[in-house]
Amino acid sequence: MKKILIALTLLALAACQPSDKEIRANIAGKAQEDLNFVGLHYTVDKGIVEVSGRCPSEKAFNKIKQTIQGIHVIKDVHYNVTIAPVVLDSLTPVKLHADSLLAQFPRVTAAVTPPVVTLKGEVTAAEHTKLLKTFRLPDISLVKDSLSVVR
């Protein structure tokens, strides 16, 4: 009986762990509200967040770190961020839109360089098809597929 109770407890704890998709969606939601995220790319794999790109100031970077640390279910965060100017221009809404579309694809980033959105990262075959369909939108004219399809 005791073993069954322990097994059920472990299953319940495992079920409470948010998925990489949920963590990515949480970060994407916060990024939509904070322009400090505009120069950054982020992925999630097994609860570990990888953040790379540019941040306009040390103060902005500290705010990013504080925001991400506020998501308590993240196991670890690795930063590869440089302090450098971040341009807010007509592409900013496209980048923010691309990031929001990637909320359900935790291991993918999008680089916006007119007129192309380049998708990089890893997806399953089913995710690959769904992701490419997701990016068929009027404000995204051309999508370059640089994804690795994994099993």
Pairing mode, if any, of strands 108-113 and 116-124?
antiparallel
Specify the CATH number for 17-150; select among 2.40.50.140, 3.30.1340.30, 3.30.70.890, 3.60.20.10. 3.30.1340.30
Reduce the DSSP state of residue 71 to 3 states and report it: coil
Residue 139 φ/ψ, nearest 5 degrees = -85, 0
What's the rounded mean pLDDT across residues 113-139? Answer: 89
Q: How confident is the model at residue 151 (pLDDT cuts 50, 70, 90)?
A: confident
In the chain, what are the domain boundaries? 17-150
Q: What is the total residue count of the chain?
A: 151
Q: Please give the structure tokens belonging to residue 50.
A: 């990888």
Rounded to 5°, the CA angle 85-90-95 comes to: 75
Residues 33-55: tens digit of each pLDDT: 999 999 999 999 999 999 999 99
Helices (H) and strands (E) in the chain, counts: 5, 6
- CA geometry: angle 78, 86, 53, nearest 5 deg: 20
- pLDDT tens digits, 15-31: 557 899 999 999 999 99
What mean pLDDT is predicted for residues 55-61? 96
**Residue 66 token pair:** 């504080």
Give the global pTM: 0.83
On whether the CB atoms of residues 144 and 118 are closer than 8 A, the answer is yes
pLDDT of 7 > 60? The answer is no
**Which residues 6+ apart lie within 8 Å of 10 measured at CB?**
none
Other C-beta atoms lying within 10 Å of the C-beta of residue 121: 20
Measured CA to CA, the distance from residue 31 to residue 123 in angstroms comes to 22
